[in-house]
């Protein structure tokens, strides 16, 4: 009997604390309201906001885009919501996105939801401070230089050809997104890290998949949760990248890839700093942690967005025969000229119709 009374008393106590917290949070929200115009939207329930709706959308067939689309239709190009007890503002216009991302007047500070921030890392270009963000962005821009794109074009073409030849031996049904993700992952690992095959690449692919799944998962660190598995996978990826960086810094290995480019630039900056040691300027050098976080960020971003674009292209081409015929008419003459060699950046410039289709 005493144990039962104690249990009831404990439950009442917990409920009372929760109610007090809700009341305090509501009062704080009301006091904190400004007369300045704020975006339309809903803060949802006290404490949890619209977190439940957000998580439900993520686990649906349409993903979190459904969550955004519903509110975009209701509130317009700019709306606010409350996720994980934090107010978030969504923009869908290109102009607003450019202003925020450029952040020339340093009017904005970037802060992603907890699951994304902890998974990609504080030093990722997605989460870095304004000062470090400019440096990181300038270094990552080298990935899109003409020389890098020229190499990437041939590598990607080779991977696509290899994958297409494998399709001949598969069952009648091919899941385009799944195959595209394989191609884009291999492409990113090759151009970033010179990883082409082997157990290390396979382990990295599995861990990147866990990291991607954890990015929009509920940030609960319990062994059976996606977020916990993603955090563990991130640690393994960081150890792998740290090992690669150490080997290359010691001169034991050298590759023509993006990681080598970053390390070479840092070596140049270090020499410049030693020559001007009396200068008060801070050396513009990336830390190993920044390199690791942004290599992971580039793998995730490059794999997912490119694979999605390929999948949508295949879908829309299958539904528009006229467009597909025009594309074939442009490509077949080029295929005759390049059938014994891989595509080059110059070949891509001879595909104006394909370029416009890709932009669409």
Say if 28 falls within a structural domain: no
Task: For residue 82, give both structure tokens.
Answer: 């409350």
Domain count, the chain: 3
Query: 124 lies in a domain?
Result: no
- Positive/negative CA dihedral, 274, 279, 282, 284: negative
Mean pLDDT of 32-57: 75
Residues 308 and 318: beta-carbon distance below 8 Å: no
- Domain holding 341, by residue range, is 320-360
Q: In this structure, is residue 293 part of a structural domain? A: yes
> Is the domain of 242 the same as that of 328?
no
CB 125 within 8 A of CB 225: no
**Buried/exposed code over 150-181 (b: 16+ C-beta within 10 A; e: otherwise):** ebbbebbbebbeeeeeeeeeeeeeeeeeebbb
CATH of the domain at 215: 1.10.630.10
Are 307 and 172 in a shared domain? Answer: yes
* 143/296 Cα distance (integer angstroms): 14
Whether 4 maps to a domain, the answer reads no
Same domain? 262 vs 207: yes
Same domain flag for 358 and 277? no
Residues 226 and 267 in one domain: yes
Q: What percent of the chain has pLDDT over 90?
A: 7
Same domain? 79 vs 197: no
Say yes or no: 146 and 64 in one domain.
no
CA–chain centroid gap for 53, Å, is 22
Residue 338: burial class (beta carbons within 10 Å; 0-12, 13-18, 19+): middle
Residues 328 and 341 in one domain: yes
pLDDT tens for each residue of 255-314: 878 888 888 876 555 554 454 554 455 557 888 998 899 899 889 888 888 888 888 888
342 found inside a domain: yes
Does the CA dihedral 207-211-217-222 come out positive or negative?
A: positive
Cα distances (angstroms) measured from residue 224 to each of 49, 227, 230: 25, 9, 11
Measure the CA dihedral 199/205/210/215, to 10°. Answer: 150
166, 305: one domain: yes
pLDDT digits (tens, 9 = 90+) for 9-42: 545 555 555 555 554 555 455 455 554 577 888 8
The whole-angstrom separation of Cα 183 and Cα 158 is: 10
In a domain, 277, yes or no: yes
What pTM does this model have?
0.73
**Is 188 within a domain?**
yes
pLDDT at 171: 67
Q: Is 207 in the same domain as 356?
A: no
Q: Does residue 310 share a domain with residue 176?
A: yes
- Whether 339 maps to a domain, the answer reads yes
User: Which of 50, 226, 258 shows the shortest CA–CA distance to 140?
Assistant: 258
Is there a single domain that holds both residue 202 and residue 300?
yes
CA–CA gap between residue 148 and residue 298 (Å, rounded) = 14
Cβ neighbour number for residue 56 with a 10 Å cutoff:
13
């Amino acid at each position: 009997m005493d144990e039962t009374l104690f249990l009831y008393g404990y439950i009442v106590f917990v409920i009372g604390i929760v109610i007090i917290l809700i009341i305090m949070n509501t009062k704080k929200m009301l006091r904190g309201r400004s007369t300045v115009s704020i975006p339309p939207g809903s803060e949802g329930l006290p404490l949890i906001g619209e977190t439940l709706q957000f998580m439900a959308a993520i686990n649906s067939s349409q993903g979190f885009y459904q969550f955004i689309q519903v509110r975009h239709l209701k509130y317009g190009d700019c709306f606010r919501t409350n996720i994980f007890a934090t107010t978030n503002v969504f923009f869908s216009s290109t102009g607003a996105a450019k202003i925020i991302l450029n952040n020339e007047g340093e009017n904005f500070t970037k802060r992603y939801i907890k699951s994304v921030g902890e998974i990609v890392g504080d030093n990722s270009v997605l989460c870095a401070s304004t000062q470090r963000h400019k440096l990181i962005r300038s270094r990552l821009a080298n990935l899109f230089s003409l020389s890098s794109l020229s190499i990437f074009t041939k590598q990607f073409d080779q991977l696509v050809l290899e994958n297409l030849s494998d399709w001949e031996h598969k069952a009648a049904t091919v899941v385009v997104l799944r195959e595209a993700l394989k191609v884009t992952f291999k492409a990113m690992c090759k151009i970033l890290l010179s990883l082409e095959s082997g157990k290390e690449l396979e382990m990295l692919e599995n861990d990147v998949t866990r990291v991607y799944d954890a990015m929009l998962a509920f940030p609960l660190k319990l062994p059976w949760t996606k977020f916990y598995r993603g955090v563990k996978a991130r640690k393994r990826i960081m150890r792998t990248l740290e090992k690669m960086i150490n080997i290359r810094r010691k001169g034991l290995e050298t590759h023509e890839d993006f990681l080598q480019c970053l390390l070479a630039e840092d070596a140049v900056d270090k020499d410049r700093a030693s020559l001007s040691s009396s200068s008060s300027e801070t050396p513009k050098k990336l830390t190993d942690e920044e390199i690791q976080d942004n290599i992971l960020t580039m793998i995730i971003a490059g794999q997912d967005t490119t694979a999605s674009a390929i999948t949508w292209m295949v879908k829309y081409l299958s539904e528009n025969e006229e467009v597909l015929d025009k594309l074939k008419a442009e490509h077949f003459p080029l295929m005759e000229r390049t059938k014994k060699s891989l595509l080059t950046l110059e070949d891509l410039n001879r595909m104006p119709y394909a370029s416009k289709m890709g932009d669409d």
